[in-house]
Structure 1
Amino acid sequence: MVRCKIVQRAEQLVGQELPYSLPCENCEHFVNELRYGVARSDQIPDAVKTIQAALLAATVFVRILRARSKRKKQ
């Protein structure tokens, strides 16, 4: 029964032009709005966390290389 309601809501939107924004109105937001009544996407926060972790790892790597370079010069 829930599936029918989701399909009905989706069919009501056919032909309408909806706004799109990668961080706040993407396809995952759209589907979650239809299914759960809340426009939400976990992909964006997950991507931000991944980028933060990569930047942290790169920073640590650069600092290690600089420290080794300084020791070799001494």
Structure 2
Amino acid sequence: MALRHSVEMEPYSGPEPGDLIEIFRPHYQHWALYLGDGYVINVTPVDEGPSVALSSAKAVVSGKARVRMQLLKEVVGSNTYHINNKYDAKYTPLPVKDIIRRAKRFIDQEVSYDVLGNNCEHFVTMLRYGEGVSEQVDNTITALGIATVVLGAFSVMGLLWSRSRERKN
């Protein structure tokens, strides 16, 4: 299992309970929360099978997910991961004992799943900070908004060009 670690000033000591774990899948990032002793909590499809790669896709289609406690190495599989408590500057993490207690209440529970408003990143940030946030979703929505504006501008320009040509004929 490959590992990314971006902190250069201190030696890598592994995740600590309450840390957010970002797992790099081929086309998206999956998120989990480290519980300790090699275990994480994360959302998986209700009918999870052996394929880790399709997990989020199955949850998207069903609109439901199951919260599971699993070994980090099993969730990561052949992908890479890193500890990413990126929202700590914006939100104050809850005390670790509260994060773990809240997380354990969800184990084996079925929860609703929605890519834009209630995904795996929302779930783990809600546990760590008390508020579900997803920069991944915000970035996607921003990119879609920009693409829509650009396509709209090209459509208007094409319409104006077409009318200009009609007037010349």
TM-score (norm 2): 0.36
Q: Identify the match of residue 129 of structure 2 among 24, 30, 36.
A: 36
Whole-Å separation in 1 of the counterparts to 2:137 and 2:118: 11
Deviations 1:6-65 (A, max 9, x none): 51344x132222222222221011111233332111233322221111111111111111
**Residue segments in structure 2 that go unaligned for 5+ positions in a row:** 1-14, 19-33, 36-99
Count of residue pairs brought into register by the alignment: 72
* CA root-mean-square deviation: 2.2
Whole-Å separation in 2 of the counterparts to 1:25 and 1:71: 48
Greater strand proportion: 2
Indicate the percent of aligned positions where both proteins have the same amino acid. 28
**Residue segments in structure 1 that go unaligned for 5+ positions in a row:** none
Q: Identify the match of residue 51 of structure 1 among 139, 144, 160.
A: 144
Whole-Å separation in 2 of the counterparts to 1:50 and 1:4: 34
Greater helix proportion: 1
Q: What code does the residue aligned with 2:16 have?
A: R
Give the match for residue 70 of structure 1. Answer: 163
TM-score (norm 1): 0.71
Who wins on radius of gyration, i.e. which is larger?
1
Q: What code does the residue aligned with 1:59 have?
A: G
Give the match for residue 3 of structure 1. Answer: 16
Greater RCO between the two (CA within 8 Å, min separation 6)? 2
Whole-Å separation in 1 of the counterparts to 2:114 and 2:161: 44
